[in-house]
Chains A and B, each alone.
Chain A
Amino acid sequence: MALYDDLTNQAADVQKCMRCGSCQAVCPVYSVTHAEADVARGKIQLSRALLEGRLEPTPHLSALSQRCLLCLACIDACPSGVATCTDIIGLRAAAARGGGLPLAKKLLMTGFAHKPMLEKGLGLARSLQPLAFKRGVSGYQPRFPLGLDLRRIYPAIPSRTFLSTAGEYVKQPRAELKVAFFAGCMTNYIYPGVGPAVVKLLAARRADVVIPKEQHCCGFPVLALGDPATAREMAASHVKLFDGLGADYLVTACGTCGESFLEHYPELLQDDPDLYARAKALAAKVRDISSLLAELPAPGELLPLPWRVTYHQPCHLGRGMRVGDTPADLIRAVPEIDFVPLADPDRCCGGAGSFQLFYPGLSREIAGPKLKDIRATGAAVLVTGCGACRNQLEGLLGGEDWNGKVMHTAELLAMATP
């Protein structure tokens, strides 16, 4: 049985937790709620209780298991080396198998797993957006609560997706390498401008860019909500799709998508030797766009951008793909840019995919220190490398009348590229 299909696969790891509570120091959710159920130690002990038969997978237990950002901070803080996030996904899967997943999450999960349904849903949402939302300069604000945060801005859903407009094979004269681009949902549906920026940056480095049309959601939202079986099908289809392209690299513009290829696909496919081997080979080619840019020779002089800029490090880029200071260094290298680092750039913004939709109040509180830090830099442009972080920070800062602009690292660098 593969990793998430049976909670007993997590038993040995769960036993490693010595309940020292070190995770309390770094957990963004716990810092707001102080509830044991919200910190890794509590979640690991819930798994232990399920394994020992001391608790049943009730809907309430499932709800508790969902209250985690999967920000990976506790993994680094754990003295015993417990794979907390893996265990929490395992707990969610076990709770979901027990029938504990609420309807809204099931619907969301179905949406991500089925591309036509997701696209129909987004199309419908786009046409209904003006009814439920007030149009502002930077996006929409909800007219009614609808379970959403009235004080934040939600982006207008673009009418055309990135994949519907992008060429499938962008060839360069005298190409020196071939890069496959996995766009991801946030780039494809919400921030389609990131796609052409990535293509431009790669083209400037004499790379042919392959963008297969059949790509879909990376599957992490589905896995994170507790459905490893569907996530496995999504993983298999992507491994088959990208493995055959003969690309030198597979580039992503979102830490979560990158982590899917790097970590979760091999994990999910470990019972299928052929797919597992192909997933591992593919994982070795995966790079975040920032890392790949740093690896390849620079294409020449950059254009100056005389702005004050700061950078927020997405959890799955920093603690996940371990890009380190690379994105910040790339930004600093742009002429005339006034780069002011955040006080705590790695701290989670509280967005965490669908977390901000399901727990808007909590998500806003978690974001509090981050918003303060961003304002303290006096930056006019906030750069980050993840669509979900961007969505969260743009929404919350926009709702606070912040006048700055949020953009993807690739967009900023593309603007500085002649």
Chain B
Amino acid sequence: MREQKVLHELQKVLGKDNVIYRPEDLYLYSYDATPDVPREVPAVAVTPESTDQVAAVVNICRQHRLPIFPRGSATNLSGGTVPQAGGLVLLTLKMNRILELDPDNLTATVQPGVIIQHLNDASAPHGLIYPPDPGTVAVATMGGSVSECSGGLRGLKYGVTRDYVTGLQVVMADGSVARFGGKTVKNVTGYDMVRLFTGSEGTLGLITEIIVRLVPAPADRRSMLASFTELAAAGEAVAAIIRAKVIPATMEILDHTTISAVENYAHVGLPQEAAAVLLVEVDGLPEVVRQDAATVERLLKQCGGQVRLAADDRERDALWAARRAALPALARLRPTTVLEDATVPRSRIVDMLVAIGEIAKRHDLLIGTFGHAGDGNLHPTILTDESNGAEMARVHEAVQEIFTIALSMGGTLSGEHGVGLAKKRFLPQELGDGGVAAVRRIKQALDPENIFNPGKLVPGEE
């Protein structure tokens, strides 16, 4: 009865085409890309087309105490978009317009359903780029990416999503529409609400408009790939490059397990016996690129690396093929892929890789690790099988140990995937009781009735 009434009200506000209610369709909004998270089917899903419609949905949901689970392309790895049974999934995909590209102010204003790559495609003719580039750049939405504060391959030099968001329009829990920040570089009016909402995982309000900073596209770039027979040597190379005051746009590492998987799958010419491979790219003005590339090449060789340089774009693609193949190659080894993102200070990368190797051995698990050596963000990728209960229990223990060791090194549970459902119970370990209490109070202040993405990020009273 109540459900019929809610459906009717939603249809009145949004139109029939924007309300999804058949069980077969609703089942498809019960998951995202996170493995090992129970699926719950929402009561209804909606595809609003404007901020006003989003506000109207919030008002209907408040009245009927229906929790709202925002969802873009559902590519996240924290269970951030998995709903609870009986809730409403709010899809941002029809709010997919780039509202403005402003080359004079170096900003873009977009709706949350815009795909990150589409923003880059639109910026390219102006000689501009939007640097955050998570692995899902071709499919992930700006709304999801801002809500999760995505990182990507260029974090070392260009930072992460939060470094680019300068303004937000948000529908708040009382149905009002708030604007925070704007196009200006400088803005100290009030609390930094833009940063609070960036990475808030949809728990504080619904983002309906985003203003981001764009930067000039680098004029030149050069890539090289170095293989090392000792893990420690690769770590020393990373440190030496940073010490030489070169900040590469990308500095990626692949461990031995990943190298063999990539080579078996893609045959890109990686030395199978290597302990680690580093993929380094420098970018900027041609003169700077030339100098930096020479420095990087010299240091890689000094540390014992076998170096392959890309002379042109075609050769660059060949080098990058190895990195791009990392996840697909690993994912094909076993039915289930648990992709973690524990992050440590850059100087501890090698220690962390060694520790992950030991954890894999101790729990008899297959773990391939690759990731962003330049910013300490690793992706220990556990290859397993969801249907094997005993093995999954070992996976859970290994994940717990990976978190503990990352924290002990001064790192974090999550560099870029977010907390969501998957890491919520580990939050006290990093934030402590005082930190968790503060997080909870922020949630209560902005969403007193707990209607926005309940059960995510904020540890409950359980």
Contacts and interface: CB of A to CB of B under 8 A. Distances in A.
Bound together: yes
Interface of A: 12, 15-16, 18-22, 24-25, 34-37, 42, 45-46, 49, 54-55, 58, 60-61, 64, 79-81
Given A37-B28, A54-B27, A64-B24, A18 B328 contact: no
B139 interface: yes
Nearest to A23: B139
Contacts of A81: 328, 332
A295 B99 CA distance: 52
A21 B136 contact: yes
**Which of the listed residues A12, A36, A55, A79 has the most CB atoms from chain B within 10 Å of its own CB?**
A36
B73 A18 contact: no
B47 interface: yes
A49 B331 CA distance: 22
- Sorted from nearest, which 9 A-B pairs have the closest CB atoms? A79-B328, A34-B93, A36-B28, A25-B138, A24-B139, A21-B75, A42-B28, A61-B24, A25-B139
11 contacts: A15-B336, A15-B387, A18-B35, A19-B31, A21-B73, A21-B75, A34-B113, A36-B28, A42-B28, A55-B23, A81-B332
**Which of the listed residues B27, B138, B331 has the most CB atoms from chain A within 10 Å of its own CB?**
B27
A64 B335 contact: no
B97 to A, nearest CB: 13
Contacts of B394: none
Contact of B332 (A24, A58, A64, A80): A80
| Interface of chain A, main secondary structure | helix
B32 interface: yes
A46 B136 contact: no
Q: Classify chain B: how many residues form its interface, as a range.
A: 20 to 34
B60 interface: no
Nearest to B387: A15
Contact of A20 (B22, B96, B136, B332): B136
B157 interface: no
Nearest to A52: B39
A46 B27 contact: yes
A127 to B, nearest CB: 39
A320 to B, nearest CB: 21
A15 B335 contact: yes
Contact of B33 (A18, A36, A58): A18
Contacts of A19: 31-33, 74
A79 B327 contact: yes
Nearest to A12: B335
A63 B105 CA distance: 48
B47 A46 contact: no
Given A22-B138, A25-B139, A45 B331 contact: no
A244 B78 CA distance: 58
A173 to B, nearest CB: 48
Given A18-B35, A25-B139, A58-B24, 12 more contacts: A19-B31, A19-B32, A25-B138, A37-B24, A37-B25, A42-B28, A46-B28, A54-B27, A79-B327, A79-B331, A80-B331, A81-B332
Contacts of B328: 79-81
